[in-house]
Amino acid sequence: MSGLFISFEGPEGAGKSTQIARLAARLASAGVVHRLTREPGGTPLGTRIRDILLDAELEIHPLPEFLLYSASRAQLVQDVIRPALQAGEVVICDRYADSSAAYQGAGRGLDPRLVANVTWEATGGLRPHITVLLDLDPEVGLKRAASRGQPDRLERADLGFHRRVRQGFLDLAAGEPERFLVLDAEDNEAQLEAAIWQAVGRTLAALGQPVNSG
């Protein structure tokens, strides 16, 4: 793999979309070939699965919920992420496997060994070089999400669930500090952008693709 794989994670309303767009603009200005994708989604199959998973009218039990996410992830890795990395591109993914560990593992209470084993099979062990975790108090995040319109199925979950999800993300970051970049999502957007770009610039330089990270 000659490319760079970056994932963005965080609770609802953390501002991932904003920072992904800002990073993509920086990469474009630097002439770095990059590709944006998301989970669930990113492929025709993933898009259909996304519609099911976020449908507020559906009741989905934790195990089938996790398996649906895993199916979308497996398709995305095979069709989009691996080919792009092999072509030397920077891949930016809005959520990846850590979301399942946080949402279905910590949030829903699925056995973390099951989550880890199925995720390994779905991804072939592919992990991001950098995971940007935009950390945010769930109460603040849910208010932000509600301002965007009708809440989806996950956003409708109770506050206790969202608190477990946040803690799940923080526990993952504590276990892999070399991969995670943990940032306070309530910081100024420009400050967040600068911190992310600095980390990406360092990693690109380490991979032999130096850019101006200032």
What pLDDT, in 10s, does the model give residues 45-55? Answer: 999 999 999 99
- Is residue 11 annotated as involved in ligand binding? yes
Q: How confident is the model at residue 213 (pLDDT cuts 50, 70, 90)?
A: low
What are the tokens at 10? Answer: 């965080």
Q: How confident is the model at residue 214 (pLDDT cuts 50, 70, 90)?
A: low
CA distances from 169 to 60, 101, 124, 172 (A): 22, 8, 22, 5
Q: How confident is the model at residue 63 (pLDDT cuts 50, 70, 90)?
A: very high
pLDDT tens digit sequence for 94-119 = 999 999 999 999 999 999 999 999 99
- pTM attached to this predicted model: 0.94
- Is residue 42 annotated as involved in ligand binding? no
User: Domains in the chain, ordered, with CATH?
Assistant: 4-206 (3.40.50.300)
In this structure, the number of other CB atoms found within 10 A of the CB of residue 154 comes to 18
pLDDT at 184 over 90: yes
- Is residue 14 annotated as involved in ligand binding? yes
- Is residue 168 annotated as involved in ligand binding? no
pLDDT at 151 over 90: no
- Is residue 31 annotated as involved in ligand binding? no
- Is residue 205 annotated as involved in ligand binding? no
- Is residue 46 annotated as involved in ligand binding? no
pLDDT tens digit sequence for 164-175 = 999 999 999 999
Quote the CA–CA distance of 94 and 41 in Å, as a whole number: 10
- Is residue 59 annotated as involved in ligand binding? no
